[in-house]
Amino acid sequence: MHTSKFLGLVASSLTLGALALPATADVQLTPVGGYLTNVFNEGAAEISAYDPVTQRLFVTNANANTIDIINIGDPTQPTLVSSISLNLFGGGVNSVAFKNGVLAAAVEADVAQDAGQVVFFDADGVVQGAVAVGALPDMLTFTPDGSKILVANEGEPSSDYSNDPVGSVSIIDISAGIGGATVSEAGFTQFNGTSFTQASGVRIFGPGATVAQDLEPEYIAISADSTKAYVSLQENNALGILNLTTGEFEQIVGLGFKDYSQPGNELDSSDRDDAINIVNRPVFGLYQPDAIATFEVAGQTYIISANEGDARDYDAFAEEERIKDLVLDPNAFPNAAELQADEALGRLAVTSTLGDADGDGLYEALYAFGGRSFSIWDAAGNLVFDSGSQFEQIVAQAFPEFFNSDNDENTFDTRSDAKGPEPEGVTIGEIEGQIYAFIGLERIGGVMVYNITNPTAPTFVQYVNNRDFNGNPEAGTAGDLGPEGLLFISAADSPTGIPLLAVTNEISGSTRLYSITDKPASVPEPIATTGIALAGLVGLLGLKRRS
C-alpha cells in the first residue's frame, strides 16, 4: 500500500491526539513547564536529580560537560540558577543523584577506559570532594538508607579492542560522611571461566574478552531494605544480583529471549513496506534492558525493565547484520526468500553472534536487539510480565502518520527495522497506594504510564507525547525529543503538593515537567486510551496487516 493511501485510511478512522474511547478512573500526566537549552542533538539534557529542600533539579548537560541547576519552585516556569562545570574532573558527566544534601555526579575520564570519578557537591554546586571509581562510570544511585552510593562502571573497550577494562560496580560507603568516604569494587572475576550457555541468555562475546571484561553494568536498582542491588548488563542480556552486605555479586542471571512468533508479541519489522504492519515473525528478541527500577508488593521485590536493546559496534568488532545478508538454514526457514525480502524481515537488524549454533554458516534462528516493551521480573530474575506488542500498538493508534518515527526528524516507519520505539528510561511512583511505572520511548518520544500495583497484570493508563510533528526538530520547534531520563517527584516532595514527573530529553535538550493528577472516568484520554483491548487496535483502525 502506498504511504499516502495508507495515511488517508487511518485519518478517516480517528482524530489524532484526541481519541475519545472508554476510559477508567486513574491518573493523567499534563505538561506544565519546561527548561530549554536550545541545543539540538548534543545531549544537553540527559539525567536529572532533585533536592526537595531547595526545590532544585540537577540536570546533566553532556554538550557543555556541566550540571545545570534548575529551580522548579514554580513548575510552570523552571529557571536556571547556575551551571557546575565538570571540566576539572574528567571528559564527561554521565549521571547524577541527590540525597540528604549531597549531589553526586559520575564523571568519566578523558580516556574512557581509565578510572573515572564520583564528585560530590552541595545543593549550591560547591565541591565537597571526589573519589576514584571504575572505568566509564555510567549511572549512580544512593541506597534507600543513604549509607552508600553505587556506581555502574560500564568498562567499554576502545574502538580497536586493544584496551577492554573490566566492568564493575563501585560501592562508596558514606556512612561516616563525604569526608570519610571509602570505595570498594564489586567485580566479576569470580565468574571468569564460567560457561554461560546460549540457552541462559547471558552473552559473553567480545573478542578475547574474559567474563569480567565482557560484562558491562548499565543501570542499578536497589531493594527497599538496601541489602540487594540489581544491575542491568545490557549488551550481555543479563541481570547481576549484588549482595550489599558482602559487597559481592551472587549471581548473573540470563534474561532469555522474547519469542516474536507468539501471539501478543507481534512487531513491525520493516521500514520498507509503506505500512504499519504489526505481526508475528519467526524471530527472537534480546530483552537487553537499559534503565531498571525496583518496587515492592506484599513484601516481595520486583524489578521493572525498559527493554531498549543495544548492539556492539566498534572498529574491531561489530555484531549487527541485516537478515537479508545472512544465509538462513533451509530446514529452519524453508521460506527464506520470502522472509528476506525488504518488506518482510530482510532489513531487520539482528546479531551475528547468535543463531548459528553448529557453526556451519547457516542461521537456524534469528535474534533481534531489544524487546520493544517493558518487563517485570521477580527478585531471582524470573520473568513475571512483559508488555508484548503493546507499545507499538499504542503508538500506531496515537500517531499513525509518524509510527516508529526517529527522534531527530519527523518520519514514518523509519525505526521498524531497528528497535522500534526503543523504551529506554523507567521510573516508579506511588500515588495514593497505587504503584505506577513511567517508561520513556527514545525514538518517537513520549511516556507510557502503567499501573503496576498487580505485577502480574499491569494496566495501561496513558501515553503522552509532548512532541509537535508539525515543528522542525533542528529549529527547536518540534517540542520534546529523545527522552533519556525520568524522575518521579512525590507529592510530599513536590513544590506544589502534587506529584511531578521530570523528563530530560537528550535530542531537544529540554527538561519537561508533568503534573500527575487524578483523572475522572469521563475525561477522554489524551493521545491513547485504556478502555480497549490492545491486541485489537490494529484491526479496529483498519491498519494493514500481513502474515
pLDDT in tens, 71-118: 999 999 999 999 999 999 999 999 999 999 999 999 999 999 999 999
Length of the chain as a residue count: 547
Nearest to 285 by CA among 304, 312, 265, 271: 265
Give pLDDT tens digits for 267-280. 999 999 999 999 99
The pLDDT value recorded for residue 535 is: 34
pLDDT at 199: 78
Residue 7 pLDDT exceeds 90: no
- CA-based angle 403:409:412, to the nearest 5? 25
- Tell whether the model's pLDDT for residue 207 goes beyond 60: yes
Query: What's the whole-number mean pLDDT along residues 308-315?
Result: 98
**N-term to C-term CA, the chain:** 15
Please tell me the predicted confidence (pLDDT) of residue 197.
Answer: 80
- Which pLDDT band, with edges at 50, 70 and 90, does 3 fall under? very low
Tell me which residue of 54, 57, 58 sits closest to 66, measured CA to CA: 58
> Is residue 473 pLDDT above 50, yes or no?
yes
Average pLDDT score over residue span 27-43: 97
Q: Are strands 92-99 and 66-71 parallel, antiparallel or unpaired?
A: unpaired
DSSP β-ladder status, 367-369 and 284-286: parallel
pLDDT for residue 521: 55
Q: Choose the weakest-confidence range: 250-264, 269-283, 408-422, 531-545.
A: 531-545
**CA-based angle 278:283:284, to the nearest 5?**
110
pLDDT tens for residues 165-198? 999 999 999 999 999 999 999 999 999 998 888 7
212-229 confidence digits (pLDDT tens): 999 999 999 999 999 999
DSSP state of 358: T
Q: Which residues pair with 69 in a beta bridge?
A: 58, 82
Whether the Cβ atoms of residue 363 and residue 354 lie closer than 8 Å to each other:
no
* pLDDT the model gives residue 15: 24
- pLDDT of 317 > 90? The answer is yes
The answer on pLDDT for 6 being more than 70 is no
Instruction: Determine the pLDDT at residue 520.
Output: 64
The Cα–Cα gap between 501 and 252 comes to 32
Q: Is the pLDDT of residue 24 over 60?
A: no
Give the rounded distance of the alpha carbon of 259 from its chain centre: 20
In percent, how much of the chain has pLDDT > 70? 90
The pLDDT score that the predictor gives to residue 546 is 31
Interval 446-460: pLDDT, tens:
999 999 999 999 999
Q: What is the pLDDT of residues 512-531, one digit of tens each?
A: 999 999 876 554 444 443 22
pLDDT at 380 (0 to 100):
97
- Report whether 310 contacts 235 (CB < 8 A): yes
Q: How far apart are CA 178 and CA 176, in angstroms?
A: 7
Q: Which residues of 394-423 are buried (b: 16+ CB within 10 A; e: fewer)?
A: bbbbbbbebbbbbbbebbbbbbbbbbbbbb
- Burial 185-209, CB ≥16 within 10 A → b, else e: ebbbeebeeeebeeeebbbbbbeeb
CA nearest to 58, candidates 102, 101, 97: 97
Please tell me the predicted confidence (pLDDT) of residue 198: 75
pLDDT, mean of residues 403-425: 97
**Where are the chain's structural domains?**
3-310+370-541
How is domain 3-310+370-541 classified at the architecture level of CATH? 7 Propeller (2.130)
High-pLDDT (> 90) share of the chain, %: 88
